């Protein structure tokens, strides 16, 4: 009689590793959607909606509203720009 393989639960990844893994998954999904013809702007808007909905579900409207108040300066400071800064 054979016994099923025993699996042990993995310890959760550190926060920075979870964020790297999440970004990798999102990049793959994004590339697949673009390959299937989904417009980048539509992907961006749907992604923002999903992200904000998750944040609101986790932290509530007030906390998320406070968080997004800081987004304009972060965008202007280039935090979300993917092109390299020229020196």
Return the structure tokens found at 86. 């020229």
Predicted local distance difference test score (pLDDT) of residue 78: 94
The CA distance from 54 to 60, in Å, is 9
Predicted local distance difference test score (pLDDT) of residue 11: 76
The CA distance from 30 to 73, in Å, is 26
Predicted local distance difference test score (pLDDT) of residue 84: 57
The H or E element containing residue 57 is helix 40-59
Of residues 10 and 78, the one with the higher pLDDT is 78
Question: pLDDT (tens digit, 9 = 90+) per residue, 49-78?
Answer: 999 999 999 999 999 999 999 999 999 999
- Angle at the Cα of 67 (from 61 to 70), degrees rounded to 5? 140
Question: pLDDT (tens digit, 9 = 90+) per residue, 32-49?
Answer: 999 999 999 999 999 999
The pLDDT of residue 6 is above 70: no
Q: Where are the domains of the chain?
A: 19-77
């Amino acid at each position: 009689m054979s016994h099923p393989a025993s699996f042990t639960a993995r310890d959760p990844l550190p926060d920075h590793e979870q964020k790297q893994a999440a970004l990798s998954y999102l990049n793959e999904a994004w590339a697949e959607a673009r390959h299937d013809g989904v417009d980048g702007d539509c992907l961006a808007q749907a992604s923002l909606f999903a992200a904000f909905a998750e944040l609101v579900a986790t932290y509530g409207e007030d906390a998320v509203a406070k968080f997004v108040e800081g987004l304009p300066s972060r965008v202007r400071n280039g935090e979300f720009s993917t092109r390299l800064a020229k020196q």
